[in-house]
């Protein structure tokens, strides 16, 4: 993990206050959880409510106009339907009443039919049907002239009924045929013709009423269109003004927040927004400020962690490249040369060279698994010369893992522990086995030995020490350091696990994510 190289230049913007950076003590004491609830913004003017009010103010007038127009159309339609229905009734009598009545009375006079037959051709039935239908028409007709002609028609119907009574009496009394025919000509025919004229006048005035309704409807439609156009213009103006106001109240704070988040992204975590609002954007503003404050705290913590990690790495490097290891190795090389084993001495020098070259790695923190495997191989090649009577080793790391990345000196401290705490304390030869394989998206290494093992109490203590910071451990610094570095770089789900049984050996497992080594990225980091 590299330290920040400095803050990016701060762009100027309005409505953002840059506050002084708090001290380390203030960072420690600061916690957003301790902010009183009553200091938080209350949403008094929700954006949703404002938009709903705007939509209502725009749509309600148009809805009311449309409802009024629908109401008017329904009224006109009802009036029109009523008149059409009335005309249909009037026309049915206009076409058939006179002919049916004249024929019916004539047949009675000539003796073919008689009064009181009760069928539809009976004159009294015809009169009663006419009276009933036109009385009903009168009750629903509102136009004055039409009602006048209906009243006249009903009086003529009454007169017609009286004349029918006269003819009935004459026929029943056995009157003279010529007198009855004269009554038919002078009374019945003239009255039915008069009634027919009344019906036609009624139809005429009802037709005129339809024209009036059509003109009224047309006039109302014209007025409606004028009002609608005026409302539409006013609505558009109101919508433009109100929408612009609401849009500004949303866009301008968002621009402010955008500028703030841009500065945060560039590394300026001291930026704060100043939005005096009472809507959801104010809550977002507070969240951005909270986030910036927490990031500021976390960055400070990261700097401290980096410092601790560098110190731990330096301590690890000191322990790995210690004078005793170097002196012992050089002594062994001198002894080999004096003993005439020049090839073995040369091989040991090569191994020592590779060991230190990878240990230093030009200051790089990450290396490939191939390099890490070479590092522990060089270490074991050196130690196998010194401890040839007790040390055997076996390295089985899958070749497919060669180009995956690993933290430098992840496995070597574990191998060293296996040698000094497992194999050296065992009577006879011991085997150190190093394996590595890929499991889905993970890489698992195991460093196992068949040494003396660890008793339960010591094992519990070591496991407890593994979860402490490396600087706080009293035993097993190498393993604690490796575990801390893995968790710091990859997360808590990765790290070291140790299993052991007294007298049967120890196995240390290392789990890291499978991430391929990016040589270009490493070059950029070196710059």
> 31-85: per-residue pLDDT in tens?
444 444 444 556 556 667 777 777 777 777 778 777 877 887 787 778 778 778 8
CATH 3.40.50.720 given to domain 49-238: no
CA pair distance 378, 496, nearest whole angstrom: 23
What integer pLDDT is reported at residue 269 of this predicted model?
72
CA pair distance 277, 283, nearest whole angstrom: 9
What element of type H or E holds 272? Answer: strand 271-273
Q: Are 435 and 369 in contact (CB under 8 A)?
A: no
- From 353, 441, 435, select the one nearest 394 (Cα to Cα): 435
What element of type H or E holds 434? Answer: strand 430-439
CA pair distance 299, 63, nearest whole angstrom: 57
Mean pLDDT by 10-residue block, N- to C-terminus, for the chain (527 residues)?
A: 36 38 42 43 64 75 78 78 81 82 82 70 86 88 87 89 85 75 83 88 86 80 81 81 76 77 78 67 74 81 75 55 72 86 86 80 81 91 88 93 90 90 87 93 94 90 81 69 86 91 92 86 57
CA pair distance 93, 95, nearest whole angstrom: 5
Q: Are 477 and 506 in contact (CB under 8 A)?
A: no
What integer pLDDT is reported at residue 522 of this predicted model?
60
Q: Are 491 and 511 in contact (CB under 8 A)?
A: no
Contacts of 386 (CB under 8 A, 6+ apart): 328, 329, 332
What integer pLDDT is reported at residue 310 of this predicted model?
62
CA pair distance 112, 198, nearest whole angstrom: 30
Burial of 464 (0-12, 13-18, 19+ CB in 10 A): exposed
Query: How is the chain split into domains, by residue range?
Result: 49-238, 321-526
Phi (first) and psi of residue 440, to 5 degrees: 60, -115
Q: Would strands 430-439 and 442-449 be described as parallel, antiparallel, or unpaired?
A: antiparallel
The architecture CATH gives domain 321-526: 2-Layer Sandwich (3.30)
CA pair distance 42, 49, nearest whole angstrom: 14
Q: Are 510 and 493 in contact (CB under 8 A)?
A: no
What integer pLDDT is reported at residue 498 of this predicted model?
93
What integer pLDDT is reported at residue 42 of this predicted model?
60
């Amino acid at each position: 993990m590299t330290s920040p190289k400095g803050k990016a230049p701060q762009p100027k913007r309005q409505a953002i206050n840059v506050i002084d950076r708090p001290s380390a003590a203030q960072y420690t004491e600061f916690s957003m959880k301790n902010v009183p609830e009553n200091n938080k913004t209350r949403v008094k003017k929700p954006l949703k409510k404002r938009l709903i009010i705007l939509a209502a103010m725009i749509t309600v007038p148009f809805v009311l106009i449309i409802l009024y127009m629908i109401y008017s159309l329904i009224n006109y339609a009802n009036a029109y339907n009523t008149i059409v229905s009335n005309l249909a009734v009037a026309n049915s009598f206009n076409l058939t009443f006179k002919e049916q009545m004249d024929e019916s009375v004539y047949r009675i006079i000539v003796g073919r039919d008689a009064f009181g037959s009760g069928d539809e051709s009976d004159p009294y039935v015809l009169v009663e049907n006419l009276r009933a239908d036109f009385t009903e028409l009168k009750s629903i007709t509102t136009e004055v002239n039409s009602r006048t002609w209906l009243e006249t028609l009903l009086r003529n119907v009454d007169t017609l009924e009286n004349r029918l009574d006269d003819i009935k009496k004459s026929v029943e009394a056995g009157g003279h045929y010529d007198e009855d025919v004269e009554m038919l000509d002078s009374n019945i025919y003239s009255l039915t013709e008069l009634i027919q004229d009344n019906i036609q006048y009624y139809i005429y005035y009802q037709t005129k009423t339809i024209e009036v309704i059509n003109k009224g409807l047309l006039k109302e439609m014209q007025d409606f269109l004028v009002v609608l156009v005026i409302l539409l213009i006013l609505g558009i103006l109101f919508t433009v003004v109100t929408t612009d106001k609401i849009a500004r109240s949303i866009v301008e704070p968002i621009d402010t927040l955008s500028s703030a988040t841009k500065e945060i992204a560039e590394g300026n975590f001291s930026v704060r927004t100043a939005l005096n609002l009472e809507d959801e954007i104010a809550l977002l503003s507070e969240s951005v400020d909270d986030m910036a404050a927490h990031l500021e705290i976390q960055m400070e913590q990261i700097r401290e962690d980096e410092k601790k990690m560098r110190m731990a790495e330096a301590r690890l490097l000191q322990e790995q490249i210690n004078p005793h290891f170097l002196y012992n190795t050089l002594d062994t090389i001198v002894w080999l040369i004096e003993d005439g084993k020049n090839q073995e001495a040369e091989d040991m020098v090569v191994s020592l060279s590779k060991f230190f070259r990878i240990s230093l790695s030009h200051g790089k923190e990450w290396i490939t698994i191939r390099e890490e495997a070479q590092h522990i191989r060089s270490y074991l090649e050196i130690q196998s010369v010194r401890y040839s009577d007790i040390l055997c080793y076996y390295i089985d790391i899958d070749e497919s893992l060669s180009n995956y990345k690993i933290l430098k000196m992840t496995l070597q401290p574990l191998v060293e522990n296996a040698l000094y705490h497992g194999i050296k304390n065992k009577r006879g030869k011991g085997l150190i086995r190093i394996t590595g394989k890929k499991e889905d998206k993970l890489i698992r290494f195991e460093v196992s030995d068949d040494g003396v093992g660890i008793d339960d109490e010591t094992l519990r203590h070591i496991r407890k020490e593994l979860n402490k910071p490396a600087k706080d451990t009293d035993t097993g610094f190498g393993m604690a350091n490796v575990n801390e570095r893995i968790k710091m770089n990859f997360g808590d789900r990765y790290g070291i696990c140790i299993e052991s049984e007294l007298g049967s050996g120890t196995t240390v497992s290392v789990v890291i994510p499978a991430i391929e080594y990016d040589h270009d990225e490493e070059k950029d980091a070196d710059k």
